[in-house]
Structure formats: structure tokens, C-alpha cells
């Protein structure tokens, strides 16, 4: 193989990896946005069709995304007096994506999370780590594993001075 062909092959491989990393980042960002937008359909679409390994610690462990999508829908869409009772903010930061092949990858993310619970009148701030696995399913990157480990958490009362709008 000539140096020119080898160089083109290496560049193509590097370009493929970069494109895969960007597609995986877009997938995880779509997941976080679905969480905050309270969109169970988009949340569910971020996972493989069946058999995903999901472990969210206190929220539970699941062997398929349908079950966690139901938990997500119950929590995220819960309303009191016609208003959402749980307000979340997910920020996924510090991604480390390792492309293993054209159809498989792993990833680690730090989560910066804030939640206002209007039922319990509390605010929660937490940080934790996601360990994900990704596969290409039907031509699109999806999560096949999503495990979350909480690093720390603070929950405090909202107090009388808080006004939610």
C-alpha cells in the first residue's frame, strides 16, 4: 500500500471517529434536553429499542429503557394545580468518548444537576458521573448502557422567600 493510500485511510478513520464522537455528544445532549423539556418520547428515543442496561441509583436499575421512560414520565410530568411539580436542570459536562469501532463506543460524563421540588418545597443540587455505552442501531447512535453514580448531593428547604414562576 502506498504512503498516499495509507495516509488517506488514516485520515478517513480519524474523520470517522470525530464524526462519531460528535454524533454521540449530540445524542447525550438530546437526552439532557429531553429531561429538562419533560419530553418522554425523545428521552426514550435516546436508547436502543430493547435490552438497554440502565442504572440510576436511587431511581432504580432497569434492563430496558421502557421502564425508566415510565418512571421519567411519572416524575417529570407530575402536576399540582395544573403546574409541573418537579423542575429539573441537567448539565452534562466533561465528556470523554472512546470510539471502539464504527458501531460501538463508550463514554463518561459529569452531571451538574439542580432540581426544585414544589411538592416537598426543596431544592436539590447534585453532581455525579455517567458511564455509558453506545451502539449504532438503524444507522443512528443510541445508548445501550447508561449508569449513573452520584458523587455528592445537597437538599435544602426552599423557604418562604422563594417565588416560582
pLDDT of 159 reads: 83
- Count Cα neighbours of 12 within 13 Å in the Cβ-side half-sphere: 7
pLDDT tens column, 57-78: 989 999 999 999 999 999 999 9
Average pLDDT over residues 89-113: 98
For residue 42, give the C-alpha cell: 425523545
Within a domain: 34 = yes
Q: Smallest Cα–Cα separation from 120: which of 89, 156, 153, 81? A: 156
Q: Is the pLDDT of residue 11 over 70?
A: no
Residue 114 and residue 89 in contact, taking contact as beta carbons nearer than 8 Å? yes
**Alpha-carbon distances of 54 from 18, 31, 133, 149, rounded to whole Å:** 26, 14, 10, 11
Within a domain: 165 = no
Within a domain: 33 = yes
Phi, psi of 26 (to 5 degrees): -60, -40
Cα 65 from Cα 99, distance rounded (Å): 23
State the CATH number of the domain containing residue 128.
3.10.450.50
Cα 143 from Cα 137, distance rounded (Å): 9
Within a domain: 76 = yes
**Alpha-carbon distances of 24 from 88, 97, 137, rounded to whole Å:** 22, 8, 12
Instruction: Please count the structural domains in the chain.
Output: 1
Within a domain: 101 = yes
Residue 79, domain extent: 3-157
Within a domain: 115 = yes
pLDDT over 70, % of the chain? 90
Within a domain: 11 = yes
Q: Is the pLDDT of residue 160 over 80?
A: no
Within a domain: 164 = no
Amino acid at each position: 500500500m502506498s504512503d498516499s493510500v495509507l495516509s488517506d485511510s488514516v485520515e478517513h478513520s480519524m474523520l470517522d471517529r470525530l464524526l462519531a464522537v460528535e454524533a454521540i455528544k449530540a445524542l447525550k445532549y438530546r437526552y439532557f434536553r429531553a429531561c429538562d423539556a419533560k419530553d418522554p418520547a425523545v428521552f426514550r428515543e435516546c436508547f436502543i429499542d430493547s435490552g438497554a442496561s440502565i442504572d440510576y441509583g436511587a431511581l432504580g436499575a432497569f434492563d430496558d429503557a421502557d421502564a425508566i421512560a415510565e418512571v421519567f414520565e411519572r416524575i417529570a410530568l407530575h402536576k399540582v394545580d395544573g403546574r409541573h411539580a418537579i423542575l429539573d436542570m441537567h448539565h452534562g459536562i466533561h465528556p470523554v468518548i472512546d470510539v471502539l469501532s464504527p458501531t460501538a463506543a463508550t463514554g463518561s460524563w459529569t452531571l451538574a444537576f439542580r432540581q426544585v421540588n414544589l411538592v416537598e418545597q426543596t431544592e436539590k443540587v447534585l453532581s455525579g458521573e455517567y458511564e455509558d455505552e453506545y451502539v449504532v442501531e438503524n444507522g443512528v447512535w443510541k445508548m445501550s448502557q447508561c449508569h449513573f453514580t452520584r458523587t455528592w448531593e445537597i437538599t435544602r428547604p426552599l423557604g418562604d422567600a422563594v417565588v416560582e414562576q
